[in-house]
Amino acid sequence: MSMTNTTGRKTSRLDRQFDLIRRREEAGQLTNPRGYRFARKFLSNRLAAIGLLIFTIIVLVSVLAPLLTPYDPRAIDLRNILKPPTWAHWFGTDKVGRDLLTRVLYGGQISILVGLGSALASAVVGVLIGCYTGYVGGWRDALAMRVSEIFMSFPQIILVLLLVAILGQSLSNLIIIFILTGWGGIYRLARARMLSLREEEYVQALRSFGLSTPIICYKHILPNALGPIMVNITLSTAAFILAEAGLSFLGLGVPLDIPTWGNILNVAQDLRILENNWWVWLPVGIVISLFVLSVNFIGDGLRDATDPTQQG
Amino acid sequence: MTQDQDVALSVKNLKTFFYTNKRCNKAVNGVSFDIKKGKTLCIVGESGCGKSVTASTIMQLLPTLSRIEEGEITYHSENGDIRIDQLERNGEKMRSIRGSEIAMIFQDPMTALNPVYTIGFQISESLKYHTDLTRTQYKTRAIELLRDMGISLPESRVDDYPHSYSGGMRQRAMIAMAMSCSPKILIADEPTTALDVTIQAQIFELMDTLKKEHGTAIMLITHDMGVVAELADEVAVMYMGNIVEAGTVDEVLRNPTHPYTRALLASIPVLGKGKHQDITAIPGSTPDPYDRPNGCQFADRCAYRIDACDVMPEETQIGRTHRVMCWRHEEVGANAAE
Amino acid sequence: MLTYVIRRILILIPMALIISFLVYLGLELTPGDAVSHMISPEMMASISAERLDALRVSLGLEQPFIVRYWIWLQGMLQGNFGYSTAGGVAIHAILADRLPATLELSAVALVFSTIFGCVLGVISALKRGSTTDNVLTVTGMLGVSIPEFFFGLVAILIFALKLQWLPVGGRLLPGYDSYWDHLPHVIMPALVLSIMMTAGVMRYARSSMLDALSKEYIKTARSKGLPEWRVNLLHGFRVALTPVIVLIGFRLPVLIGGSVIIEQVFQWPGVGSEFISAVRSQDYPLVMMIALLSVMAVLTASLLVDILTALIDPRVRLDK
Amino acid sequence: MQQNKDVILKLRDLKAHFPVKAGVFKRTVGHVKAVDGVDLDIYRGEVLGVVGESGCGKTTLGKAILRLVESSEGQVIYCSGDEQTDLTTLDNEGLVPYRKKLQIVFQDPHSSLNPAFTIFGSLEDPLKKYGVKSRAERRKIIGDLLEAVNMRPEYMDRYPHEFSGGQRQRIGIARALSIGPELIVCDEAVSALDVSIQAQVLQLLMKLKQEKNLTYVFITHDLSVTEYICDRIAVMYLGRVVELCDSEELYAHTLHPYTKALLSAVPVADLDKQTDRIVLEGDVPSPVNPPSGCPFHPRCQSAIERCKTDVPKLKRYEVDGRDHFASCHLVDLPEAV
């Protein structure tokens, strides 16, 4: 079937796409898509699908670490110090002969826990406060806003280090600190969404029935704000994983005896290791980057899938 | 068809399709009409009927994921005919027509003006690209234009930003911008839908004056039959991408020959006819553009439906200017005359 | 406009006061003798216990908390930031020594990332869906996903250790102090820091630009027959610029955070690496002062951003 | 006065002012006088039209009746038999029994339904609140409601985006009906619909009114629709009612110059009925600083000196033996009537 292009302009890549769509449309092959529009759009985004795959793989191998490797992440083996990758030790061994692959896998458990856990927990805090104060407005809103402004005017790493200096170094402290520094962003997002959603007519309809504020704002309005909130959770997961890695790299994050991705990288501050023993820091650096990249891909995919203005 | 001397722009069998979300929407599916000098052509129809797309197509202001499939848009300029559909979208030739030969005003004056520039700046942009005026003359001309459009204190208003203008004033400023280079054709895409009736009356009076004084051809897009009755010289009624009926305003409103036109006129309350006027609702709703009926697009809602309606009716000329797309137009027309 | 600026400043003052109060609270709660925060260690060593008590009284330390805070605040405003517990050095001297290095690094990164981020973001948005756009998008994504210190480590390995083009770290060797001598030192940390920032700015500039381009007035501008560059830059970019500037203001904390780690990686003698060593040695006065300083920097930056957006966007300026 | 009719709602000097804040300290520098002293009686079983241009306060008036916006002064008195309750004095709890009697239908079919819930999900919570405990019963009620608005009961498990504008508007009406109200405020209920759908919804509203003995306050800017559907019409300008009378009376003997201009400005889809348009000058003034005297005087073509200083009161006139209220000094002049 030949397409008549009477306009006489040269055909472009876009034109060829259009021709294909039109041909299929006229042949009746295209029907209104069924099923979840959201899932379809998300998975048709190639990067998001790749991201989801990488994310799943890394999470799975970390969680299943005890089944996948025969080594103990803390077992010191002084006969095998700083060995390059071999069949026995795929990622080689570190300064005290611990198997690096094992440490990367077990480290993933902690790093992902810190990243995902802090992101979810700070999202819960931020959303609970943001939804309510954004909906009711008035002095509660003003107060929450001021408090978040104070938290957010500290650069995150400064506040984290400040709290580390005061509270001391431990895994739970780190998560608490991340929640304290992380709730502000998602609070603002939730509040901003509320400010526009509370003007929607269905909200006024609910108010005209005299329904209670928590039911209106958490049950009825919140689901409509979930899209951007989900995107924000993925982005803050990425940010927290980077922050954990950075802090542990400096030796100020998770205590050094617990393996985390950042703690493994800590030794790379030593220039001799940096120059001579690439396997100690390069693989784990790549794993962190890949994981954060996959989370960011997922976040972008979520944003496109939840944004109704996106076409394509 | 013989070419009238006073036709400013003619559209023949125009098809514009949209390709969003990997689907093909035949938004405009073969429409033909002429815009005549010094006359107002009203294109009337409900949302999604393709009336705005037709306007954007003439200006080549379509979004990226859409294209002109077929048909001709010919602009009869003083220096010979120009086939607009063959010009490059944002090419030099198209740009030289936009704004200077054919100008457009939009539905929502609140969003159609750039909030970060003064009204004067936005008017002078047109002047800069289509006239030989100097920089200093821009402002004088902009003030003149604003005064012509009935804006009080134009000397100070010209330096204001759009958000300090009211809706009616913004639409006047839009018209000032559109008229700045004395275009031959003015396309108005629902220019008063966002405005109040008293302001709408002001804007229509202004457009009427422009038509009379400058001989501008006006293509007015509207959904309001009242506006058609008051302003149009000619009417084209659109439904789902086709012009189902077209003709002079007398022909179409007094003797509607397409069932859709008839049903539309019967479904709207008319001011002054009192509480007991007969109103007949049109059953059903407009079809999904991706799941259109095969033949006549109105068939599913039509009281005159027959089996033949499964095939798209042809356009029939029933008077010199009156044409209709319906298999049973004779019976419909006869009923209307009763 | 003036009302607007005054309003912004008036909002800022209570914020600054509350934060300084919190910092003082932190200082009081952390271990250490309050006197030692306020007088120099030499003086401390040379006086007797009775004199010390007398000094406490004269410094107002036996007074209620809020009064002590007031005295401390007055000192702060006169430039008396107290003394570091670790080295016993006056904090203002440490800052005077370290601040220029940090400012140098941040300024380079800020300017570089703003310009390149905007340019690349705009290109990406204008060529939406093209190969250029896809490549830029994925690159940008990589840029925000690789930890900055890892990026720095790879850079050190390649350019300093393997190729030996640039020094591993530090700012100036003793004895060399002309600007050209220290240029090689600044290149790597500044570029690493800039590239991280650029990716963020680019992603944001792209979406902001796409947003602006979808507006109705873009259609109006085209309908006037304006050339594409004018439509895209004067009508699109000009409007897209406001959120980008706001973002850059918001990213200042990120920049400060990034520079803390980058300074450590490259042994750059700035405030950031000082901060980390202060945290490690639990030198609370210094930790608090640097934190306070960074907050003040953020607050000042947000004020500047507000004024800047008001200047380029009449809606902001004339709204109030 | 029409004493014989049964009043359902009395508005007495109702005002809704919103503060305008400006300056360095965000002090209140003035008030948007959205509704500025409205006295109205709404009779049981009637359709009262409230018309006016944007910014005249008609929507605020409708929402103030339901306490969706808080009024700053005046009373909204709900009458039932001898019982009279001022709704503005009640707290949220006290208001609950009256919420049941008064409901609202909104303008925008796209934002009036929650996109995250099915129709059942959106409609069931009010029913729960008003005592329908079992889920099966709620499904039954909602199914019946959908049938009442000419839709299939099984549609209750669909999401709003699966419906067209007209269908959504009918669902909005079903929602308003769900707890059996006596009075429904229709806030521009058909304005956002396509003309071919408008008539369907209008006829549905009329049918329901007959069946359920409802009272409507019909807020709209479309005078043609008002004439067709309303028994009485109140014309608003800058927060006040400037003219109030029976629908036919308003069109037959227009008293207020603003109403005259408004009526003449409406484009009529009838070639034989073209009238001379009265084109008003200028825009509606800001409700923050309404003009002195009669708020309409700067745009009024027949304004006299007195209009600039004296605020005209809404007075009763008798035209052909029927009540007709208007607030205009000119009507008092002997040559006017």
Q: Does C225 touch chain B (CB under 8 A)?
A: yes
Distance from CA of B325 to the nearest CA of A (A): 22
Nearest to B170 by CA among B182, B157, B183: B157
- Of these ranges, A4-18, C183-197, D157-171, the one predicted with the greatest mean pLDDT is D157-171
With contact defined as beta carbons under 8 Å apart, do D238 and D290 qualify?
yes
Least Cα separation, residue B271 to chain D (angstroms): 4
Q: Which amino acid is at D309?
A: T
pLDDT at res. C173: 54
Q: State whether residue B82 is helix, strand or coil.
A: strand
Mean pLDDT value across residues D40-52: 92
Min Cα distance C278 → chain A (Å) is: 9
Give the tens place of pLDDT for each residue, B40-87.
999 999 888 999 999 999 999 998 888 899 899 999 988 888 999 888
Q: What residues of B are in contact with residue D197 (Cβ under 8 Å)? A: 282, 285
User: In the structure encoding, which two tokens stand for residue C29, read together?
Assistant: 């709660």
- Tell me the pairing of strands B323-324 and B242-248: antiparallel
Is the model more confident about A210 or about B338? A210
Q: Check if the beta carbon of residue B167 is closer than 8 Å to that of residue B109.
A: yes
Contacts of C10 in chain D (CB under 8 A): 24-25
Q: Mean pLDDT across chain B, nearest whole number? A: 88
Q: With an 8 Å Cβ cutoff, are C315 and B163 in contact?
A: yes
Q: Tell me the CA distances in angstroms from B324 to B9, B52, B317, B319, D271, one per residue in order.
A: 21, 21, 7, 10, 20
Q: Position B328: which residue type? A: R
End-to-end CA distance of chain A: 25
Least confident interval from B124-128, C49-53, C178-182: C178-182
> Domain spans of chain B?
7-101+183-338, 113-182
Taking the C-alpha atoms of residue C219 and residue B63, their distance in angstroms, rounded to an integer, is 10
- Side chain identity at residue D81, one-letter code: G
Top pLDDT among C93 and B172 is at: B172
- Reply yes or no on whether the pLDDT at B178 is more than 80: yes
Looking at chain C, which residue has its C-alpha nearest residue A152? C253
- pLDDT score at B13: 93
Q: What are phi and psi of D310, to 5 degrees?
A: -90, 130
Say whether C161 and A274 touch across the interface (CB within 8 A). yes
Structural domains of chain A, ranges and CATH numbers in brackets: 38-71+83-306 (1.10.3720.10)
Residues B147-164, mean pLDDT to the nearest whole number: 88
Indicate whether C182 pLDDT > 90: no
CA angle D56, D227, D246 (to 5 degrees): 85
The CA-atom distances, in angstroms, between D222 and each of A203, B226, D215, D229, D328 are 25, 12, 19, 11, 23
- Distance, in Å, from the CA atom of A172 to the CA atom of C196, rounded to the nearest integer, reads 29
Amino acid at C235: H
Domains of chain D, CATH where assigned:
2-101+181-332 (3.40.50.300)
Element of type H or E holding B68: strand B66-77
Mean pLDDT throughout D218-225?
A: 91
pLDDT above 70 as % of chain C: 84
Please report the pLDDT score of residue C320 as a whole number.
43
* CA C204 and chain centroid, separation: 19
Eight-class DSSP state of A155: -
CB contact under 8 A, B177 and C224: yes
Q: Using beta carbons and an 8 Å cutoff, which residues of B are at the interface with A?
A: 17, 19-24, 64-65, 67-72, 85-86, 88, 288, 290-291
> Could you tell me if C2 lies within 8 Å of chain D, comparing CB atoms?
no
Res C175: pLDDT: 53
The residues facing C214 across adjacent strands are none
C63 or C111: which leads in pLDDT: C111
Q: Which tens digits make up the pLDDT trace of D82-130? A: 888 898 888 888 888 888 899 999 988 888 899 888 999 999 999 998 8
Amino acid D4: pLDDT: 54
What are the φ and ψ backbone dihedral angles of B105, each rounded to 5 degrees? Answer: -120, 150
The C-alpha atoms of residue C254 and residue C297 are separated, in whole angstroms, by 12
pLDDT score of C298: 85
Of B198, B268, B285, Cβ closest to residue D195: B268
- Name the pLDDT band for A275 (thresholds 50, 70, 90): confident
CB interface of A with C, residues 128-187, below 8 Å: 146, 149-150, 152-159, 161-162, 164-166
Give CA–CA dist C191/C155, Å, rounded.
10
Of B262 and C99, the one with more pLDDT: B262
Closest-CA residue to A174 (of A278, A75, A246, A90): A246
**What is the predicted pLDDT for the residue at D183?**
93
- Rounded to the nearest angstrom, the gap between the alpha carbon of residue B270 and the centroid of all alpha carbons in its chain is 23
Smallest Cα–Cα separation from A299: which of A102, A35, A74, A45? A45
Q: Which chains touch D (3 or more CB pairs under 8 A)?
A: A, B, C
**B82 Cα to chain A: minimum distance (Å):** 13
User: Which neighbouring-strand residues pair with B221?
Assistant: B43, B189
Instruction: Give the mean pLDDT of C137-145.
Output: 89
Quickly list H helices, D47-91.
58-65
pLDDT at res. D42: 93
Q: Residues B287-310: pLDDT tens digits?
A: 888 888 888 999 888 888 888 888
CATH code that applies to domain B7-101+183-338: 3.40.50.300
The reported pLDDT for the residue numbered D287 is: 83
- Where residue D2 falls among pLDDT bands split at 50, 70, 90? very low
> pLDDT class for A294, splitting at 50, 70, 90?
very high
Q: What is the pLDDT of residue B1?
A: 43
pLDDT of residue B104: 93
pLDDT over threshold 90, residue B322: yes
Q: Give me the half-sphere count of Cα atoms (radius 13 Å) on the Cβ side of residue D284.
A: 23
How far is CA D100 from each of CA A207, B128, D46, D70, rounded to the nearest angstrom? 12, 62, 19, 18
User: Which chains pack against B, by 3+ Cβ pairs within 8 A?
Assistant: A, C, D
Contact A201 D125 (CB under 8 A): no
Q: Which residue from D332, D314, D318, D330 is spatially nearest to D12, judged by alpha carbons?
A: D314
What is the per-residue DSSP string for B106-155?
-S-HHHHS-TTS-HHHHHHHHHHHH----HHHHHHHHHHHHHHTT-SSHH
Q: What is the pTM of this model?
A: 0.85
Band of pLDDT at residue B14, cut at 50, 70 and 90: very high
**Residue-range domains of chain C with CATH:** 2-77 (no CATH), 99-312 (1.10.3720.10)
| Lowest-confidence region among B223-227, D210-214, D273-277 | D273-277
Instruction: Say which residue, B76 or A39, is predicted with more confidence.
Output: B76
pLDDT band at D3 (very low <50, low <70, confident <90, very high): very low
Counting Cα atoms < 13 Å in the Cβ hemisphere of D21 gives 6
Residue D117 to residue A220, Cβ atoms within 8 A = yes
Band (pLDDT 50/70/90 cuts) for residue A291 is: very high
**What would the mean pLDDT of A117-141 be, rounded to a whole number?**
92
Residue A45's pLDDT is: 80
In this predicted structure, the answer to whether residue A64 has a pLDDT above a threshold of 90 is no
Q: What is the DSSP string of C69-127?
A: HHHHHHHHHTT---B-TTT--BHHHHHHHHHHHHHHHHHHHHHHHHHHHHHHHHHHHHT
Of A288-292, C250-254, D35-39, the range with the lowest mean pLDDT is: C250-254
Q: What are phi and psi of C267, to 5 degrees?
A: 50, 40
- Torsion on CA atoms D329, D330, D335, D337, rounded to nearest 10: -90
For A218-232, letters b (16+ CB in 10 Å) and e give: ebbbbebbebbbbbb
Nearest residue, CB atoms, C220 vs list B56, B112, B163: B112
pLDDT number for residue C32 = 62
Question: Which of A59-68, A121-130, B222-231 has the least mean pLDDT?
Answer: A59-68
Most confident of the ranges A187-191, B193-197, B279-283: A187-191
Q: Which two tokens stand for residue C6?
A: 């005054």
Global ipTM: 0.84
pLDDT-derived band of residue D51, with 50, 70 and 90 as boundaries? Answer: very high
Mean pLDDT calculated for residue range B276-287: 85
Mean pLDDT of C138-142: 89
Residue D107 and residue D192 in contact, taking contact as beta carbons nearer than 8 Å = yes
H or E stretch covering B44: strand B40-44
For residues C129 and D68, the model is more confident at D68
Asked if A224's CB is within 8 angstroms of D115's CB, the reply is yes
Contact A208 D68 (CB under 8 A): yes
**Between chains, do B17 and A22 touch, taking CB under 8 Å as contact?**
yes
**pLDDT reported for residue B218:** 94
> Hey, is the C-beta of A224 within 8 angstroms of any chain D C-beta?
yes
Percentage of residues in chain B having pLDDT higher than 90: 38
**pLDDT at residue B323, as a whole number:** 93
Please, are residues D49 and D226 in contact by the beta-carbon 8 Å criterion? yes
For residue D103, how many C-alpha atoms fall within 13 Å in the half-sphere facing its CB? 22
Of D92, D115, D175, nearest to A210 by CB-CB distance is D92
User: Residue D218: which H helix or E strand, with range?
Assistant: strand D215-220
